Amino acid sequence: MSGMLYGGDEIGALVFDPGHHSLRVGYAQEDTPKAEIPAIVGVAPDGGPKLEPEVKVEGSGGSSSSINASQPPTSAAAWKYYIDTTFLHTPRQNMELHPYMKDGMIENWDFFEKVIDYSYAKIIQSESEYHPVLFSESPWNQRPKREKLMEIMFEKYKVPAFFLVKNAALAAFANGRSTALVIDSGATHTSAVPVLDGYVISNAVVKSPLGGDYLVLRARELLEAQGIDLTPASMIASKEVVRDKDKAKYVKKPISFAPTNSWMAYMSKRTIQDFQQTVLQVSETPYEERVASAVPAVHYEFPTGYHQDFSSERFRLAEGLFDHAMLGAGYIASTSAGMCDVDVRPALYSSVVLTGGNSLVQGFSDRLSRDLSLRTPGSMRLKMIAANGTVERRFGAWVGGSILASIGTFQQMWVSMQEYQESGKVQIDRKCP
């Protein structure tokens, strides 16, 4: 309670920030989430040949069996669920991977609940009824989904209090702003969201499908066209040192079965993501072959041991995020600001907050700031706010949620269990704007 000085009051709340790439979980008032769980669930029929005994991970503690029995997605057979990187990255027979997010919103609630179960059991390691829960959501989240989430949290997890905030507003808070134009470049899309006094102006949200996954797609095309083997690291037992651009020499792990296609796709995506994070760079000015090839090449070695230099490709690939006339990051930002009331535009331009994991592609913020300054009216001051740290940028919304949930004046905002029991889930729109 001495936190009066800084206006903080910690009540043991939890913050969940579901994203396409991962779900971030942690305690409010901490500076980083406790865990980042991939937003994907592995499902395999139970009773199949198990590779390791410790696979029993799904579900919270003792209630795992009941979950398995009660909510199989398709048939009545028992299913096993594999959550979190350690379990996902091992090849397993018949394990199909399913994403539970779609278009920034939670799509498959059964899988989502599994992940929440897992977070409580393994990450939080505490009972859900002791911790108020703050969830983030995408600015275009639909009302039925909001209600459903609230219902699940109260009915199933018996949380004492619940709150739902738009992730763009949280990202703005994390950067110390209540009014900002939030450019969130995530896995599936890049969005420009104007936030005014902590409220998202929902009619002026602009999004484009050019995000991290798009880069992965383009990188995959390029690498496959070059005939590069994208076998993931977890399939490789050993590899030999080869010369630059020489054919890879490696030994595959002895696996008796063929991993599922979805697993292979996911794992090769992880491989490409690593490639993308290490190699890709956005050039500061629109792509030019001549300029790009003058920049020193970057060397990259694939899990198979194959390695080569990448020079102009790294710029050409990343250029896809910006060169589109209608969907480039700079364009959507200025469109979004242009849809807002003229009175707030100067405030928005003077704090453009950049967040999201994909914004960490090298040179992203420089290029965005250049593109945006070309579109900014001359009389307005443009200021880009991009956190330097990887954690702050990737978990912007989570950090904002962590801050918000531990502010003393926020504690009156929670939708409490009592309020939920009195007015039901329909109040979500009233309580959580």
Partner 1 sequence: MADVRDIMELDQPVTPELTKEAILGADKNKKRLFNAGQKVSKRPEGMHREVFALLYNDNKDAPPLFPSDTSNGYKQTKIKLGMRKPRKWEWMSFTNPARSDNTLFYHWRRPSDETKEYPFAKFNKKIDIPIYTDAEYNQHLTTEGWSRQETDHMMDLARRFDMRFIIIADRYDTEKFPKRTVEEIKDRYYKVCGILAKLTNKKMYTYDADHEKRRKEQLKRLYERTPEQIEEEQFLIGELKKIEARKKERERKTQDLQKLISQADNQGETPRKADKKLPKKKITNPSRPSRVDTSHILQAVETAGIKFPDYKNSGVSLRSQRMKLPASVGQKKTKGIEQMLQDMGMELNPTPSEEICQSFNELRSDMVLLMELKSALGTCEFELQSLRHQYEALNPGKTLTIPAQLLTAGNEQEAVKIGEIIDVVGSPGTPSGI
CA quadruple 358, 363, 364, 366: dihedral, nearest 10: 150
Distance between CA 117 and CA 135 in Å, rounded? 15
Contacts of 257 (CB under 8 A, 6+ apart): 93, 94
Q: The tokens of 270 are what? A: 């992880």
Min. distance of Cβ 388 from partner 1 in angstroms? Answer: 31
Q: Which is nearer to partner 1, 9 or 110 (CB)?
A: 9
Longest Cα–Cα distance of the chain, Å, equals 70
In whole angstroms, the minimum distance from the beta carbon of 75 to partner 1 comes to 40
Nearer to partner 1, 228 or 347 (CB): 347
Q: Give whichever of 236 and 340 is closer to partner 1, judged by the CB atom.
A: 340
Q: With contact defined as beta carbons under 8 Å apart, do 188 and 211 qualify? A: yes
In whole angstroms, the minimum distance from the beta carbon of 341 to partner 1 comes to 5
Min. distance of Cβ 1 from partner 1 in angstroms?
4
Nearer to partner 1, 168 or 223 (CB): 168
SS (H, E, C) 369-406: HHHHHHHCCCCCCCCEEECCCHHHHHCHHHHHHHHHHC
What's the closest the beta carbon of residue 211 comes to partner 1, in angstroms?
25
CB of 427 to partner 1, least distance (A): 12
N-term to C-term CA, the chain: 28
Half-sphere exposure of 227 (CA within 13 A, CB side): 4
Q: Which two tokens stand for residue 231?
A: 């076998």
Which is nearest to 171 in space by CA: 357, 327, 347?
357
Nearer to partner 1, 125 or 418 (CB): 418
Task: Give me the residues that bind partner 1 (CB under 8 A), please.
Answer: 1-2, 4, 7, 9-12, 130, 132, 160-161, 196-197, 199, 201-204, 340-345, 377-380, 408-409, 411-412, 414, 416-419, 422, 430, 433
- Residues 344, 292: Cα–Cα separation, whole Å: 38
CB 337, min distance to partner 1, A: 10
Which residue lies nearer to partner 1 by CB, 363 or 408?
Answer: 408
Give 159 or 219: the residue with its C-beta nearer to partner 1: 159
